[in-house]
Amino acid sequence: MELLSGGEMIARALEDEGVEYIFGYPGGAVLHIYDALFKDCKVPHILVRHEQAATHAADGYARATGKPGVVLVTSGPGATNAITGIATAYMDSVPMLVLSGQVQSHLIGEDAFQETDMIGISRPIVKHSFMVKRTEDLPQMIKKAFYIASTGRPGPVVIDIPKDLTRPDEKFEYNYPKNVKMRSYSPAQRGHTGQIKKAAKMLLAAKRPMIYAGGGVIQGDGSELLTQLARELNYPVTNTLMGLGAYPGSDRQFLGMLGMHGLYEANMAMHHSDCILAVGARFDDRVTNTVDKFCPGAKVIHIDIDPATISKIVMADIPIVGPVQSVLTELLGQVTLLRKKDSSLPDESALDRWWQQIEEWRSAHGLFTGRRYGQSDLIMPQQVIESLYRVTDGDAYVTSDVGQHQMFAAQYYPFDEPRRWINSGGLGTMGFGLPAAMGVKLAFPDMEVACVTGEGSIQMNIQELSTCNQYKTAVKIINLRNNYLGMVKQWQDMQYEGRYAMSTYEDSLPDFVKLMEAYGHVGIQVDKLDDLEGAMKEAFALKDKLVFLDVIIDPMEHVYPMHIAPNGSMKDMWLSKNERT
Amino acid sequence: MRRIISMLMENEPGALSRVVGLFSQRGYNIETLNVAPTDDATLSRLTLTTVGTDLHIEKLTKQLNKLVDVVKLVDLTEGAHIERDMMLIKIRATGAAREEVKRVTDIFRGQIVDVSPNVYTIQLSGTSDKLDSFVAAMAEADILEVVRSGVAGISRGEKVLSL
Ligand SMILES: Cc1ncc(C[n+]2csc(CCOP(=O)(O)OP(=O)(O)O)c2C)c(N)n1
């Protein structure tokens, strides 16, 4: 039997759980824990420069690997700084464990130095949280936290740890449980067979089918099965912003992203579909446009691990609660069975007509069947993403921040693999991109990791350049530099007659090239199209260096297509500044 | 429609605030709330009443079920059930009104549990409607204080909410 202090238990439990990295920042309430980590812990700790970045880095790590990210922060400001990152992970269902220090038990509630009610503050943005009351409970609690964070619909879990419970001089028995069972938590293990049979029938009866797949397919490792199903049936597929990579982006059956800035053919096909198979998607308002007008002729089959997501926004005709892998396996089986019995399924001629229609949409306004953006003397943002795609052979991990650059990346970098596209879709957190890229690069040091950003977003966590220097995380930062908060400006152009309220920086931007040098990195600025590809190649050729490619782009460019709101349907889109459906 | 939702939840710190927080977070109303331990010290029973359409309530119960601390949940209004709300009410009772208050209390099968020269304290239990009617039967000016437990409920017959 081994006796360990609370701090040692935490260090050991993280080892026993097979954690690869701890992202964190020390402070008074967690000093016992840090001392235990220092003395004896095989798990490396990454010291960020701001706790928000710790959560985003752990988040990026988790999205890329599928394993929970681990964060350690101190009480009070350490904990509150972590909040934005916890909310970001929560909105995108990312598995994460956040260990936050707390003031000593006997001081709780007395407004002690650096006290904040972390359990209370984080309550609406966590999957669950624990307050440690007894040191002996720590191993069990940590095991439970990992279990909850990574099963069912994943999400962040907070453990709040009063300092006295980690004291080095009070030791208790340590036993890390192999398994946990909780009477109050048991995520669905499989879908309802009757429902799946019905779904197979409905799917095969469709004349204008659409497969609408979201982040849940990636989180649930269902991409291969989804691809198999779609190929078997020759049905068109669209992915949400969170689902990009769930189906191979360069495949003919892929219609691109759908939604507010979705591709024309994806939105049109959704609107005119008669049967939508929604998998791990949640009918977000950035997808549906006006809900009352959403896909009027479509029956909906909705597969999700979270029952609360089904029929939350759009009523499902066939709801199926279950993990995507097991449900898709069963669905594939049923589909094969039905087709054996009746080889005329699905209706091939209807499907031919449907594909013909889709091809027409595609060639009319698709992003890849012609050049869809304007030309000016300046580099167009789309060209930067196209260049990034070429130079990385479409095989990089791409993180992004939030704004126009994010949408251009989502549109113009087709991801053939899941977990390659890493962005804050639900919360839309500017400042996510760089720390997330750090987390990804640490997980996959031999892979190319690019952070597509804007000069607004990058400055929200730019301090992490120092972390990248410390750990030699050689990510490439592709800055689409339009000198505006571009997405804000686009809305101001479209809805506020071009009144740019607080969306410019009035020549106050830093010299990014010099800034990179100051941080020990490489900065390259490009403003001519002819230099773009060369600079991009140079950036990626500098293998061991963080390179910041500052690309001066046309500031007037907008992201299109764009849903027309309010009161528009999926098919109502702006296609350019003066062209609409 | 008014619903009575009753649940068993882990008797853990923070459990109650998660349930209550969910209501404000997702824009639902709680009309009454009642929580107490059960025969099993690790569980507490929470009963609340709320108003909403079927769809509304379905979404709400799904969200409540998702809370890790909620072990089991039932919408009592879906079947035959018994509901009880308990009220303690202080009524000014002087002169002729004294007799009248006692008479009405008897009609409602209430009990006068405390008496002072000018005040009766009455205990009454029953459905929320019954308590409302009693309050309505008292002259407003005579009501000094009202305290109600909120609805507690249980289903009729063999059906039980247990682990
Ligand atoms: C933390 C945070 N604050 C504000 C916003 C609102 N917002 C969305 S996009 C955007 C502009 C982003 O500008 P930039 O990073 O330069 O990217 P661009 O749109 O120019 O490509 C803003 C302010 C946000 N998403 N996140």
pLDDT of residue A376: 84
List, for residues A512-554, the tens digit of each pLDDT value.
999 999 999 999 999 999 999 999 999 999 999 999 999 999 9
Write down the residue that tokens 């530099």 correspond to: A481
Q: Does residue A24 sit in helix, strand or coil?
A: strand
pLDDT (average), residues A367-389 = 92
Chain A residues whose CB is inside 8 A of the B21 CB are 123-124
Count CA atoms closer than 13 A to A54's CA, side-chain side.
28
Q: Is the pTM of this model over 0.90?
A: yes
CB contact under 8 A, A308 and B70: no
Based on DSSP, count helices (H) and strands (E) in chain B, helices before strands.
4, 9
Q: Please check the confidence at residue A123 and state whether its pLDDT lies above 80.
A: yes
CB contact under 8 A, A307 and B63: no
Which of the four pLDDT bands, split at 50, 70 and 90, describes residue A152? very high
Q: What is the pLDDT along chain B (163 residues), one digit of tens a residue?
A: 899 999 999 999 899 999 999 999 998 899 999 999 999 999 999 999 999 999 999 999 999 999 999 999 999 999 999 999 999 999 999 998 899 999 999 999 999 999 999 999 999 999 999 999 999 999 877 999 999 999 999 999 999 999 8
CB contact under 8 A, A119 and B18: no
A127 contact B CB<8A: yes
Scanning every residue of chain B, which has its alpha carbon at the shortest distance from the alpha carbon of A184? B71
Q: Does residue A343 sit in helix, strand or coil?
A: coil
The tokens for B50 are: 């709320």
What are the pocket residues of ligand 1 if the criterion is a CB atom closer than 6 Å to any ligand atom?
A 401-405, 428-431, 454-457, 480, 482, 484-488
pLDDT of residue A528: 97
Which of the four pLDDT bands, split at 50, 70 and 90, describes residue A78? very high
List, for residues A421-449, the tens digit of each pLDDT value.
999 999 999 999 999 999 999 999 999 99
A312 contact B CB<8A: yes
pLDDT of residue B13: 85
CB contact under 8 A, B65 and A312: no
Closest CA to A60 of A461, A443, A453, A470: A443
B58, B62, B63, B71: best mutation site toward chain A, by most A Cβ within 10 Å?
A: B62
A91, A105, A184: best mutation site toward chain B, by most B Cβ within 10 Å?
A: A184
Closest CA to B131 of B114, B115, B112, B150: B150
CB contact under 8 A, A184 and B70: yes
Scanning every residue of chain A, which has its alpha carbon at the shortest distance from the alpha carbon of B60? A308
Nearest to A308 among B9, B66, B69 (CB): B66
How many angstroms separate the alpha carbon of residue A404 from the centre of ligand 1? 8
Closest CA to B97 of B122, B130, B120, B115: B120
Top-confidence range, A367-381, A484-498, B133-147: A484-498
B162 contact A CB<8A: no
B19 contact A CB<8A: no
Scanning every residue of chain A, which has its alpha carbon at the shortest distance from the alpha carbon of B56? A312
Q: Please check the confidence at residue A560 and state whether its pLDDT lies above 90.
A: yes
> In Å, how far is B95's CA from the nearest CA of chain A?
50
Nearest to B62 among A128, A133, A308 (CB): A308
Interface pTM (ipTM) of the complex? 0.93
Count CA atoms closer than 13 A to A412's CA, side-chain side.
25
Write down the residue that tokens 């750990």 correspond to: A471
Q: Please check the confidence at residue A467 and state whether its pLDDT lies above 90.
A: yes
Beta-strand relationship, A573-576 and B143-148: unpaired
Strand partners, A171: A5
CB contact under 8 A, B21 and A183: no
How far are the Cα atoms of A86, A422, B31, B142, B149 from residue B128, in angstroms, in the given order?
A: 42, 52, 11, 20, 10
List, for residues A88-100, the tens digit of each pLDDT value.
999 999 999 999 9
- CA angle, residues A552, A556, A557, in degrees to nearest 5: 85
**Other CB atoms within 10 Å distance of the CB of residue B52:** 15
Which of the four pLDDT bands, split at 50, 70 and 90, describes residue A375? confident
> In Å, how far is B24's CA from the nearest CA of chain A?
10
Identity at A242, one-letter amino acid code: M
Catalytic residues of A: 51, 113-114, 163, 487
